[in-house]
Chain A
Amino acid sequence: MPALTREETLELIQEVLEVYPEKAKKDRAKHLAVNDHDIEQSKKCITSNRKSLPGVMTIRGCAYAGSKGVVWGPIKDMIHISHGPVGCGQYSRAGRRNYYVGHTGVNTFGTMNFTSDFQEKDIVFGGDKKLGKLITELESLFPLSKGISVQSECPIGLIGDDIESVAREQAKALGKPIVPVRCEGFRGVSQSLGHHIANDAIRDWVIGNRDGDERFVATPYDVAIIGDYNIGGDAWSSRILLEEMGLRVVAQWPGDGTLAELELTPKVKLNLIHCYRSMNYISRFMEEKYGIPWMEYNFFGPTKIAESLRKIAARFDESIQAKAEAVIARYQAQSEAVIAKYRPRLEGKKVMLYVGGLRPRHVIGAYEDLGMEVVGTGYEFAHNDDYDRTIKEMGNATLLYDDLTGFELEEIVQRIRPDLVGSGVKEKYLFQKMGIPFRQMHSWDYSGPYHGYDGFAIFARDMDMTINNPCWDKLKAPWVKDAATAAAALAARA
């Protein structure tokens, strides 16, 4: 299918929205837009970070998911209590593939689920006592934990428990940081507020812990990687590049992160932010309080990696800049070989993305390196500032969408028929049954890493293996003769 013109894209949006009642149509129309490079501010064309419409199927998560699942969960040497009923933690346990090194259950706890398992009596009489007891028990069972965070689920806020005072009391008793996080699921419109609340908890309970402690020996080349979740090892394949260019990565979190790294972050010279959405708050805070500048970077695909490495190096002296060039040169042959192998197989393929915090814009460059084109992109829970950054990355007249409903996503994909859809696990089987190649772009579909030069090779291989998989020709029943009847049969089923 050739690229759509602006008018055609607008028409497509109108057609998709046709089924809604008048009011819902008006509301949803604000969340769908055609990209236009002339627009400087995204709020002129797209509305974001609004409550989802009741009655539609949204793909968003809750604030608890944003705090426990995203920001705090991967800090590996702390125990994160899912405070409240058992389900919230259990059904999301270990789903994010944040890799880490350590002995789970001894000195790291990433894939374990700890919960206070609220029962009726805890709701009626309050759960503070239970929380206190739970923390004491944790200490005897897992004495090597470095700290504990209390991640509130919905009931905690509803019944008005005072987890802060329990945390203070227990922190004194145990001599470890205990962080109460008020990330009840009902707060905010999506997981995005959970990120913010989690950032604020880091700010209030952790970041200042080593203020005035001058024992840490700093160097002029200290940096922190913030907002890399180490999905499938992403942070590791990023970190080596920074180290090769002569920087010292003092802290790397949340992915494979530790409490000590969180506490040492205010001692670095530059904060490098990969996921802007979930970590900009704490970076802004450190800039204001400690004067540490921060910058966003993008380690997807050789073009963006080289660009980012140069941008990072520009913040340091010439020796680092020279080493950055050396790193880029060293990996050039490797990425050229990857491109030579896969580009002919992927050239011109069209991709639609619908993901979370940074990928809808960050991976565009990697696809372009492979000669592919991203024809539509959107976020579950972005804010205006994310779309501001996206407009520049996307081609003119491509489709932008915010907080898509299940129906809209399906409908748009049916009409555009891209060669690849990248979204989450809930969408995966739907599109595969429609005969459209699909990659799960939250968890890299059990693959990864995708960051860095090494990650790019895996990324390219995965895309090729998905799109050019022979199974897609087998979706037509053998007795169905031509494509038209097959399509009619599909349509009749739908």
Chain B
Amino acid sequence: MPNVMIRRKDSGELLFYVAKKDLEETIASVQVDTALQWGGEVALTDGSRWYVEPISPPPVFPATLRFRRGEG
């Protein structure tokens, strides 16, 4: 369950950063991304998947969240 810091890139995309793992990757898709909720399964551009319980109201980025490794 790594601590992940999510911040917005200049281009507007979200960046997924895990200091401990030295991972800095753009988020490709988020399962739930509405005005009320944010989270679920998150896919990164490198193909890996991560999971966080949907959070409501959606967090204000940058924010640090605890993710689980997703399946696949």
Contacts and interface: CB of A to CB of B under 8 A. Distances in A.
B7 A284 contact: yes
B17 interface: yes
A288 interface: yes
B5 interface: yes
A284 B62 contact: yes
Contacts of B64: 288
Interface stretch (A118-126, A265-273, A383-391, A422-430): A383-391
Interface residues of A, number: 12
A453 to B, nearest CB: 26
A58 interface: no
B66 to A, nearest CB: 14
A295 B11 CA distance: 13
B23 interface: yes
Interface string A270-301: 00000000000100100110000001000000
A276 to B, nearest CB: 11
Contacts of B23: 384
A443 to B, nearest CB: 27
A41 B46 contact: yes
A49 B5 contact: no
B19 to A, nearest CB: 7
B24 A385 contact: yes
B22 A384 contact: yes
Interface string A48-77: 010000000000000000000000000000
B1 interface: no
A181 to B, nearest CB: 17
Contacts of A41: 25, 46
Nearest to B23: A384
A288 B22 contact: no
A49 B64 CA distance: 23
B35 interface: no
A362 interface: no
A196 interface: yes
Contacts of B17: 284
Interface in A384-400: 384-385, 388
Contacts of A287: 7, 62
A41 B24 CA distance: 10
A383 B17 CA distance: 13
B62 A288 contact: yes
Nearest to A281: B19
Contact of A388 (B5, B10, B24): B24
B8 to A, nearest CB: 9
Most-contacted residue by chain B among A49, A295, A383, A388 (CB, 10 A): A383
Nearest to A294: B7
Q: Which has the most chain A C-beta neighbours within 10 Å: B7, B10, B62?
A: B62
A385 B18 CA distance: 11
Contacts of A384: 22-24
Given A41-B46, A196-B19, A288 B24 contact: no
Contacts of A288: 5, 7, 62-64
B46 A284 contact: no
Contacts of B10: 295
A383 B25 CA distance: 13
A383 B46 contact: no
Contacts of A49: 22
Nearest to A286: B62
Interface in A160-201: 196
A43 B13 CA distance: 21
Interface string A21-55: 00000000000000000000100000001000000
B48 to A, nearest CB: 11
Contacts of A281: 19
Leading 7 A-B pairs by shortest Cβ distance: A288-B62, A383-B22, A385-B24, A287-B62, A384-B22, A284-B5, A49-B22
20 contacts: A41-B25, A49-B22, A196-B19, A281-B19, A284-B5, A284-B7, A284-B17, A284-B62, A287-B7, A287-B62, A288-B5, A288-B7, A288-B62, A288-B63, A288-B64, A295-B10, A383-B22, A384-B22, A384-B24, A388-B24
Interface of A: 41, 49, 196, 281, 284, 287-288, 295, 383-385, 388
Given A384-B24, A385-B22, A388-B24, 4 more contacts: A41-B46, A281-B19, A288-B5, A384-B22
